[in-house]
Amino acid sequence: MTEINAALAGFIENVKEHQTLWGLMDETGEGWVVCDSSEFEDTDVMPLWSSEAAAKSHCSDEWHDYQAVAISLEEFLEYWVSDLNDDGVLIGVDWQTNEECLELDPIILAKDLVDVEEF
């Protein structure tokens, strides 16, 4: 298994267990962290994490004014995937600063997550 596939498998496993994804929201409660893709020119990536601790660990330096916020899997699939796809924003899976991270189309990630949804 490649390192990237292992990262995705771990992400899916954690989301399956907790039914939650984590993003970073600014202190106003209106803006989410989005950064430039390391793979695709003129493409934005929204970092998401499968644990609160991993998300919180990135609330420093340029993101020190942000806080880790839970997004339920149900809400992510129902609302976020479509909006992110419409905006052409990729998902950074368990994003790591200054490391190559898996960047996925939100529709592809949603298909992987649908298999783990427990409603």
pLDDT by 10s per residue, the chain, length 119: 455 588 889 999 999 899 999 999 998 888 999 999 988 999 999 999 999 999 999 999 989 999 999 999 999 999 999 999 999 999 999 988 777 789 999 999 999 888 744 54
> 106-114 and 3-18 helices cross at what angle (nearest 10)?
60
pTM for the whole structure: 0.88
Contact 102, 8 (CB under 8 A): yes
Looking at domain 3-114, its CATH architecture is 3-Layer(aba) Sandwich (3.40)
Predicted pLDDT of residue 1 = 46
CA distance linking residue 43 with residue 114, whole number of Å? 25
Q: Residue 25 is encoded by which pair of tokens? A: 């929201």
CA distance linking residue 97 with residue 10, whole number of Å? 18
Q: Three-state SS for 118? A: coil
Q: Residue 57 is encoded by which pair of tokens? A: 């660990």
Residue 2 burial (CB < 10 Å; 0-12/13-18/19+)?
exposed
Q: Residue 43: which region, alpha, beta or left (left: phi > 0; alpha: psi -120 to 50)? A: beta
